[in-house]
Amino acid sequence: MSAYVTAILQGAVLTVGVSLASLLVAIVLGLLGASAKLSGRRGWVALGTAYTTVIRGIPDLVLMLLIFYGGTIGLNNLLEWMGSEATVDINPFVAGVLTLGFIYGAYMTETFRGAILAIPHGQIEAAWAFGMGRTQTFLRITAPQMVRYALPGFTNNWLVLIKATALISLIGLQEMTYAAKQASAATRSPFVFFLFTAALFLVYTTVSLMALRRLGVRFSLGAKRGTL
């Protein structure tokens, strides 16, 4: 029995790893997407809009299966076409991180876009008047203030992303849902193991929620709140 609990706890470490890696991809894609949508260039705006619209209409699971199974065949066909003898297998970790990063990047795009729009444009003009370039303006003016506006949406996306990592067990990544399924098949006591895994997920989401709330307080220092 305790061996299975250990396996689930090891799976939990992998769950944390895979969710953080996906988050990183999602943040990068979200920033790129938001800047594309705000760039004002027609092509970029259309691309960004297509990205956020299409991704939000397709289930995570279908996209994951597409990238995992389709990606393997696609890569191998590409290698064959280039005349290589080698074959590659996409491993579930990479497929999972890419898929979740790609999906939640679309949600982050909308969150970041809203946050950037919430910053008064005068501040950015002031930064330009000081001779700051685009990168400097982003790093010194936009990014620090964006955090405060983006946090509520970011928190939501992060909690949904954590829960979506359970899906990666379906393409064979041995994270905690996978371990729980193995354990319940072997011991015939699925209720206990799935309940335990659910509790671990609850702990993870609760801890994240508390941490992000503290971050919110930290980044709202000096911001006045109107009272009714």
Partner 1 sequence: MNWAVLFEPQNLALFGHGIVTTLSLLFASLAVGGVMALVFALLLTGPWAPLRWVVGAYTYVIRGTPLLIQVYLIYYGLGQLEWIQARWDTVWPWTHFKEPFFCALLAFALNTAGYTAEMLAGAIRETSAGEIEAAQAFGMSRLQVMFRVVLPSALRRTLPAYSNEVVMMLQSTSLASAVPSMLDVTAAASRIYSDYYLPFEAYLAAAAIYLVASFCLIGLFKLAERHLLAYLAVRQS
Residue 159 in contact with partner 1, rule: CB under 8 A: yes
In the block, residue with structure tokens 């799935």: 194
Q: Which stretch binds partner 1 (CB under 8 A): 34-42, 43-51, 63-71, 214-222?
A: 63-71
Minimum CB separation from partner 1 for residue 59, in Å?
Answer: 4
Alpha carbon 57 to its chain centroid, in Å, reads 17
Residue 22 in contact with partner 1, rule: CB under 8 A: no
Out of 38, 65, 94, 119, name the contact with partner 1 by CB under 8 A.
65
Please state, as a whole number, how many other Cβ atoms lie within 10 Å of the Cβ of residue 197.
25
Minimum CB separation from partner 1 for residue 189, in Å?
Answer: 5
Q: Which stretch binds partner 1 (CB under 8 A): 3-11, 42-50, 83-91, 186-194?
A: 186-194
Out of 194, 212, 215, 216, name the contact with partner 1 by CB under 8 A.
194
Q: Which is nearer to partner 1, 57 or 226 (CB)?
A: 57
Residue 190 backbone dihedrals phi, psi, to 5 degrees: -65, -35
Nearest to 204 by CA among 5, 65, 20: 20
- The count of chain residues that interact with partner 1, using the rule CB under 8 A, is 41
CA distance 160 to 177: 16
Q: Are the C-beta atoms of 154 and 108 separated by less than 8 Å?
A: yes
CA distance readout (Å), 47 to 50, 57, 157, 161: 5, 16, 22, 23
Residue 166 is classified by DSSP as G
Residue 137 in contact with partner 1, rule: CB under 8 A: no
Using CB under 8 A as the criterion, which residues of the chain lie in contact with partner 1 when the complex forms? 54, 56-63, 65-66, 69-70, 72-74, 159, 163-167, 169-170, 177, 180-181, 184, 188-192, 194-195, 197-198, 201-202, 205-206
